[in-house]
Structure 1
């Protein structure tokens, strides 16, 4: 087994005495291979961390989607924890300035989908750092679903939001450090990236030798992350994306679906995936407490599997089979990065042609 060294491990392996007050942006994924969390690890290495900043879901990861944990104190280090979720621009600048930190460090694992919010917390805080004159350092981590492939359309800047700030494809194929370098062309922060050592772009997370820590409450496994760039799109329609089950984003369905759903999806012959007819009852979220019929995605070949095309195909089949019940919501435009997917679905047109063929990631790549 190969073992990758993350930016955090590389930084803490050379202890020193820091002279500037550091704000650490992190969550449960910011750990060393022995599962020591970044905050005490950096303090032990002589990095003078004085404040912790938490993204969506919070420092401890207890909040569900769309929430944070509020301002609190870290019970391990005693440091103050400031909640950045839903704070942008001048409001975020004021929060950072009030902490008295002189530099910001980011150590959070991403999952490889543009609409996952952690890298946009990084983006927004890079903007604050630029305006406040603070150095910003990214302790890089591998892309869990590999960095060899990008898929899906690039974000239209008119649809920029907290589920997509910069012009990246849906599955971007980049690490947080690479996104920071790409975004910094416009932001202009004083940026450093402590690169991952020993990672190859084609590797999924289970080849890194690193421990998997669920990045958020509904991202329990690498299997979840693999399908998420596609089935995450179901959050923009009136179907269940599997929240409130033990297989979020692998289970999808709707109260109006029937046995034709799985059969129609399998008839498409999508590469690297099969669909099993199933029933489930979400315990929370969309259709909570309602018996839902749908499918479980079984990825049979993750190298061949196109998550974005698969997610669009799921939406296409739902719209084709159940036109009187299926409905899109405005949030779909933000997830997709333009109105084109929603417009195709609402007009009854096949949207699969909106997916460009998968290709290599674009940008200033830090890893071969």
Structure 2
């Protein structure tokens, strides 16, 4: 497998501090459209005979998404093949085998298939991570989890906390990269100081437009020198043959394993960075249905909502009047009136601008309310944690239109796009 050292930043700035391991030499089959097939980092590592992990004592941070092109899990392959010395597994939210719902995990246990100890890492502090790494006796952390491109999807903070811990303990860190199903475009507001939480710990925008490997490089250059006192020894096994304008819905020949119980399809992932904001309201975001985040509704909404949104002629999207009854979560067993988000042109679709427009129109209904959490009297509104500040909520409450809300973060979004540029590994529009 070809390695290339990445150039350090100019003098006076923090070096990227990572090695990028390129696509393997195995020829890629042609996609029916004529393009070479995209190959995940795991597939490239396998095809290269696991050479990047030779001699390492490996601890794997993963969940059910860490599979090869034949849906075989990396951990199972390591154990069965005997080439890699894997000694422990670390399970994030929902667990290593993926059996737990949102906000839950599987606990620390022995995996019945492999006999490996699976450490429960959900909610772990950086000190907890360091203690688990020491207990497992590893010298290399390998991370392979499918991300969906949103700041509030918790796996990227599993990545961050485990990287900080690895740097402090002095471990090597290897990311097996996968395509971002939302592509390479960044959208939305920046998280601001004071609104750190489990759904956003550092200053990135709401839809970051990076792969996990690119994010790891960004963390390593921008945050770890301060938060860990040093950068971690980082390697990224790259995705092969991928351009960032190839979205998840374009890559249906790649295995899609639910990254979490309410992320069943690539389309779910495309809408999620926007419609997940409805978690911060008293409208149902589709949990408890077969179309989470694509269906949004509440008993107080009606067909006028979708009519008004269609009249706005938002790019790349239409809205279908819809009625549904969630089986759990908000309004369980109660009829909800609302809509289904129908993406008609993914290349033009902006999930966050779309969802902001949806929120502005939903706010016009008397029954609408922002979710209020009594357990956090200082920052009680969940929407503020999701969006990274009070700005979106207060602007909508004050009667601002969607275009004004979106324009309010244009400067910080441009600055973020420029800041991330030197950490990017893949080419495509908007980068």
SS class of match (1:223): helix
Deviation at 1:324, TM superposition (A): 4.8
Give the equivalent residue in structure 1 for 2:96: 59
Distance 1:168 1:45 in 2: 39
Deviation at 1:45, TM superposition (A): 6.2
SS class of match (2:194): helix
Distance 1:39 1:85 in 2: 19
Distance 1:355 1:231 in 2: 15
Give the equivalent residue in structure 1 for 2:328: 284
Distance 1:328 1:27 in 2: 30
Give the equivalent residue in structure 1 for 2:43: 9
Deviation at 1:41, TM superposition (A): 2.0
The number of aligned residues is: 366
SS class of match (1:158): coil
Contact 1:12-1:42 within 8 A present in 2 as well: no
Deviation at 1:281, TM superposition (A): 0.6
Give the equivalent residue in structure 1 for 2:389: 338
List runs of 5+ in structure 2 lacking aligned partners. Answer: 1-30, 225-230, 373-380
Q: Does 1:366 align with 2:409?
A: no
Deviation at 1:83, TM superposition (A): 1.2
What's the RMSD between the two structures over aligned residues? 1.8
Q: 1:124 to 1:132 in 2, by over 3 A?
A: same
SS class of match (2:363): helix
Q: 1:202-213 to 2 correspondence within 5 Å?
A: 202-208=245-251, 209-213=253-257
1:190 corresponds to which of 212, 223, 233: 233
Q: 1:260-299 to 2 correspondence within 5 Å?
A: 260-299=304-343
For normalisation by structure 1, the TM-score amounts to 0.95
Distance 1:31 1:109 in 2: 10
Contact 2:143-2:175 within 8 A present in 1 as well: yes
Give the equivalent residue in structure 2 for 1:256: 300
1:50-105 residue CA offsets vs partner (Å, 9 max, x unmatched):
10111111111111111111112222211111111011122232222222222111
Q: Does 1:158 align with 2:194?
A: yes
Give the equivalent residue in structure 1 for 2:404: 353
SS class of match (2:328): coil
Distance 1:325 1:228 in 2: 20
Distance 1:169 1:222 in 2: 21
Give the equivalent residue in structure 2 for 1:33: 69
Q: Does 1:135 align with 2:186?
A: no
1:224-263 residue CA offsets vs partner (Å, 9 max, x unmatched):
1111111010001111000000000000011111222111
Which ranges of 4 or more aligned residues in structure 1 deviate by more than 3 Å?
Answer: 206-209, 356-362
Give the equivalent residue in structure 2 for 1:20: 56
SS class of match (2:244): coil
Distance 1:51 1:333 in 2: 37
Distance 2:394 2:158 in 1: 29
List runs of 5+ in structure 1 lacking aligned partners. Answer: none
Deviation at 1:352, TM superposition (A): 3.8
Give the equivalent residue in structure 1 for 2:150: 113
For normalisation by structure 2, the TM-score amounts to 0.81
Deviation at 1:20, TM superposition (A): 3.1
Deviation at 1:206, TM superposition (A): 4.1
Q: Does 1:304 align with 2:355?
A: no
Contact 1:31-1:38 within 8 A present in 2 as well: yes
Q: Does 1:243 align with 2:318?
A: no
